Amino acid sequence: MSSVNVKIAIAGIGTVGGGLLELIRKYKSSDIKINVTAVASRRKQKFHGQFLKNTLFFKDAKELLSFDDYDILVELIGGEGGVAKKIVFDALKKKKNVVTANKALVAKFWKELKSLEYKNKCVLKYEAAVAGGIPIIKVIEEFLLSNKIKRIYGILNGTSNYILSKMLSSNKEFKSILIDAQKLGYAESDPTFDIDGTDTAQKLSILSSLAFSFNNSANSIKNEGIDKIKLVDLKIAESLGYKIKLLGITEIDKKRIKNYVYPCLLSKDSFVAEVDDVYNGIVVESDYCKKSFFVGEGAGAYPTATSVLSDIVNLSKGKENNLSIYSQLKKYDSVTLEDRYGSFYLRFTTDDRSGVISGIAEQFKKYNISMKSMLQKEQTGNYTNNATIVITTHNCFERDMMKALKRINNLNFIREKTVYIRIEKFK
């Protein structure tokens, strides 16, 4: 059996691109020979030996628009627009296959990219765009051949998971751990998308679009982040048998789709709650396999580069997407966050006097909210005149809880705005 010669052009040699070149250099296969015909990088690169002696080097990725000597374009620049978008769309229009790690681009232009892929009988691979070293895209594509996916949920951002984990284990507040994460390279100098839920929403939109075959824009997902999570809530949650995690949740309910991104309390014995540090953990629920759980590093040079190389190898072997499932995207109505039906963790800071609990209960009664548990924490230091009351609730509609909290926060015994965190009951 003769080996396959595959030509690739790589745009962007940062952390992942550098890791990919190292993996390609070490890649040994009797079936496939990977030939890097071009590399586009704004920075000068140093490479070992004769590995890239016949490779063209471009300082500007735009030069790839007039370059055709490749079978697969590997886009590792990032960003939803600019040159990354231009070269990816250009390659697909040229009927070239594309491998990308660009979650922002895939999330925003899912419908357009799938249309080009289907029209030109080429393939877009994006395993590295979601969950780094976990092959979750491949898993979902193969599930679709025999299983109907009902729900996907999990930790999709390693930075936020690291911060929440370390806050609790090191007894430090958010800002202190964020600085540590930046020093260790787990968080960017501008970590906004990681901590405000945007990164998770982009990844969730890709998983949702793929699993349910519809155009789910990340912009339609209301995301909440972890920057307002306090150490005290992590500690109280742990004492109650929970951990707080930033989750992405997508679920099909008849002809409606739920897409949520927010921090929530999970039972400590649930699959995802046990995933700490920079790891991602994803659960796929389907009709025949019930729950399938996947865990792995969510970012970094080699885990992400491994996913990129896997896509390159699969394309080289002729293992392509089942394009027929994208020939006609479905339409679903969205279940808004206001329509969520679930339970809550609530922390009230109040005057330390009688009548407080009955005052809160009175507002709950107006909106059919039932208390499940309650505890009062003793105050110390400068706050001895205040009381901390923690309540968990039975299931209720989110819109009712928001109305009740609005009224409660205006009561004369409330000293600080009430903290609320959703509780999810995944096993």
Tell me the catalytic residues: 203
What sections of 94-157 are H helices per DSSP? Answer: 103-108, 110-120, 136-146
Tokens matching residue 111: 């419908």
Helix, strand, coil distribution of the chain in percent, nearest 5: 40, 30, 30
Nearest in space to 251 (alpha carbons), one of 154, 371, 153: 153
Give Dmax (Cα) for the chain.
Answer: 84
Q: DSSP letters along 164-231, please?
A: HHHHHHHT--HHHHHHHHHHHTSS-SS-HHHHSSHHHHHHHHHHHHHHHTB---GGGS-B--STT--H
Query: Dihedral of the CA atoms 166, 179, 422, 276 (nearest 10)?
Result: -30
Residues 236-257, buried b or exposed e (16+ Cβ, 10 A)? bbeebebbbbbbbbbbbeeeeb
How many residues appear in the chain? Answer: 427
Nearest in space to 207 (alpha carbons), one of 122, 282, 311: 282
CB atoms < 10 A from the CB of 355, how many? Answer: 12
Q: Coil, strand or helix: which one is 60?
A: coil
Q: Coil, strand or helix: which one is 300?
A: coil
Give the CA count within 13 Å in the CB-facing half-sphere of 159: 27
Q: Are 128 and 311 in contact (CB under 8 A)?
A: yes
Angle between helix axes 231-239 and 158-170 (nearest 10 degrees) is 80
CA distance 155 to 245: 7
Q: Are 45 and 10 in contact (CB under 8 A)?
A: no
Cα 278-281-283 angle, rounded to 5 deg: 170
